[in-house]
Structure 1
């Protein structure tokens, strides 16, 4: 039975690139999104199973992971939410929602995936990857909720890596430090935005990393992006 790859928060950008690549590598795909109607063509192309769920819904995420057939060896968490504005004007409910999606949702998926992976045979039991952002390294003005969520997500990944690497589960937080080239976007100069297919290949390289050299954090930025 094929190894399974779970991708939470699937759209038509990076997640679609990840789905196509991991399907080509022989993984059985399980794709989760709040709106699955727009994913019908992607599912047809990749043979993926679609699940409609909010990433913060504990019962839904646990049920999806429990329904996966075969060994779950890759889990990728992509969702995040922003609430922009001056700190004095932010709506507390919007801030809470941002934290729920970016931070709590990461925990929900990672916990259930880790529980499932610990049952896998083999020295390396699986890989859990979080799609991060530069906001998890430095907070920007009028973007406090996003920074709060990404710092929390990064802290979760650091804690999990120290706990689970010795148990055979590879954890990594990927800092996407720049804008991703999505359908319909225009670039100011060639390769000024991150190519989603190239990001996906880097995720696959993380999955394939020798355990003697596991990365727990990785920053990806276009050649024109400032530090």
Structure 2
């Protein structure tokens, strides 16, 4: 049986236009998919939708909190009722905050875990329930779920200990889902972002860091989006679980 790619994408964790989420949304729309962009800020989502529509693409904004089960279900319902079940879902939600452990509050630690790991679980579970056929060993779908990871998922360094524990849990989730659902047609990928992203957040908070790195010293968001698209389009005989992306001059 020939398995075709669908035409709907859900990008979860879209913030500023000049970020990884926005770039992935634009790339998927340019490839002809109806893109649903989900995030917490309506104004930021509207900018991304406007850019996609101005380029001739289709996009819909969904304001949602990915750590709330009802919101996650609503995201998928909105996409499914509007254009169909998403066959490309990207979990890009995350917030790289830092604190010394002795000064860290309970809420600080838990909030990072809920956004990175628990939110990823809710989105992953919802997708699996909706796109996978019933019955073990049955493969009549081909869909893709990609998690945006970080170097911290594999190496914890202070003052990013809480963030590292949250991203490590997210990575474990991705690996477990890949092994559980891959044989049934759900391609789960984990992209390790190893370096500073040349996007709105870093430019606004640590502009001097990017300047010091020089040309191509930060990850270009459109180049990152291209690699995510490549993951989605991989042949079923050559699926990648984990991909690390870093600037050529980054130490590792």
Equivalent in 120, 131, 147 of residue 130 of structure 1: 147
Equivalent in 142, 151, 162 of residue 179 of structure 2: 162
Over aligned residues, Cα RMSD in angstroms?
1.7
Alignment-derived partner of residue 197 in structure 1: 222
Give per-residue Cα distances to partners, 1:156-186, cap 9 Å, x unaligned.
0010000011000000110000011114454
* Structure 1 residue runs of 4 or more that deviate by more than 6 Å after TM superposition: none
Most deviating of 167-176 and 109-118 = 109-118
Matches within 5 A, 1:58-207: 58-68=69-79, 69-119=83-133, 123-183=140-200, 184=203, 185=207, 186-188=210-212, 189-207=214-232
What are the ranges of 5 or more consecutive residues in structure 2 without an aligned counterpart? 1-5, 53-57
Deviation at 1:119, TM superposition (A): 4.7
What are the ranges of 5 or more consecutive residues in structure 1 without an aligned counterpart? none
Secondary structure of residue in 2 paired with 1:72: coil
In the alignment, structure 1 residue 51 sits paired with structure 2 residue 62 = yes
Distance in 2, matches of 1:207 and 1:134, equals 22
Most deviating of 195-204 and 7-16 = 7-16
* Kept in 2: contact 1:83–1:90 (CA 8 A): no
Aligned length: 226
Alignment-derived partner of residue 42 in structure 1: 48
Deviation at 1:114, TM superposition (A): 1.6
Alignment-derived partner of residue 29 in structure 2: 23
Deviation at 1:70, TM superposition (A): 1.6
Deviation at 1:67, TM superposition (A): 2.4
**Structure holding more helix per residue:** 2
In the alignment, structure 1 residue 8 sits paired with structure 2 residue 22 = no
